[in-house]
Amino acid sequence: MASPEAQKIGEQLRSWPAPDGVSIEEWRRRAGTPDVTESAGVVTWPVVDASGGSVWAAVGPTTGRRGDAPVPDGPIMVWFHGGGFVVCSVATHRVTAAYAAAAIGGTALVADYRLAPEARFPAAIHDGVAMLRWLRAAGVESSRTVIAGDSAGGNLAITVTMALRDAGDQLPAAVVAVSPWTDLTLSAPSLLTHRTADPFAHLDDLPRMRDLYLGDADPTDPLASPLFADLAGLPPIVAVVGDTETLLDDSSRLVDAVRAAGGTSELVVVEGAFHTWLNYAGRLPEADGALAAIGEFVRPLL
């Protein structure tokens, strides 16, 4: 059962207007409210020598954080923000990323990547690969790197790791996929069965986002829908998802596919959690419990 706090936020989400028929600019404006880092106890600072608007983010003061240093000390969680490949930004997800990184005792690198339709598939994957290669060039060992993301960003966390594997690059110690959108064919049964249960569902126009992202590309392309990919040879993957989410089956089927390919994967289903629940870290017990589970999975791998 959802906590009282989750029920209250769920009611708020249900009252928000759906994006039906709005322009992309208006859609982005509605989805673009930045996290309030000061009230969340999160600090951010620019990524030195990396292109784009990526930022470092951490909960509270961190050791090894210097404005003139390319990278901080300790574990680094590269976070790809959600938003269906079309909306949201580094600014909307820096707090979420910082709390997730804190769960593994590290710092978040909140990755800036190009959005669709201005930059369609696979541009975002190319940007993610470039970010990981920049980290390697800066001297960051793969053994202290985790690739993570939520929703569409969860898709990117997996597909960027796949692209690195296929190119023969070093792989991260683990992948954290929060409510990952792994099947762009939209065949998951929970997209329908959980439509009324997930209060965020009416805000997520998945068919439109999919079409804006893919254009003429095939939604069964493995780099578009990792559910249909060869998932062998990937680092351990934890998929964390709410039990009311429309994307529940995207997570459960991913974990099954990784295991069938001989890999290590764990499914964490959070009771009473709706899509985007992790964005309320520090305010929802469901979010704080999920962060603890992420830490338990990842820390032994670093």
Q: 54, 89, 151, 225: which is the annotated catalytic residue?
A: 151
Beta bridge partners of 58: 43
Strands 55-59 and 107-111: antiparallel
What backbone torsions phi and psi does residue 175 show, to the nearest 5 degrees? -125, 135
Q: For residue 64, what are the CA distances in angstroms to 36, 71, 74, 76, 97? A: 24, 8, 8, 12, 18
151 noted as active-site residue: yes
Q: 245, 251, 265, 286: which is the annotated catalytic residue?
A: 245
* CA 3 distance to own-chain centroid: 23
Q: What's at 281, amino acid-wise?
A: A
Nearest partner of 277 among 50, 63, 13, judged by Cα: 13
245 noted as active-site residue: yes
Strands 55-59 and 42-46: antiparallel
Nearest partner of 147 among 169, 118, 176, 122, judged by Cα: 176
Helices 4-15 and 285-298 sit at what angle, rounded to 10 degrees?
Answer: 110
Q: For residue 243, what are the CA distances in angstroms to 190, 197, 222, 227, 286? A: 10, 9, 26, 19, 11
Residue 58, classed as helix, strand or coil, is strand
CB 238 within 8 A of CB 294: yes
187 noted as active-site residue: no
Q: Which residues are catalytic?
A: 151, 245, 275
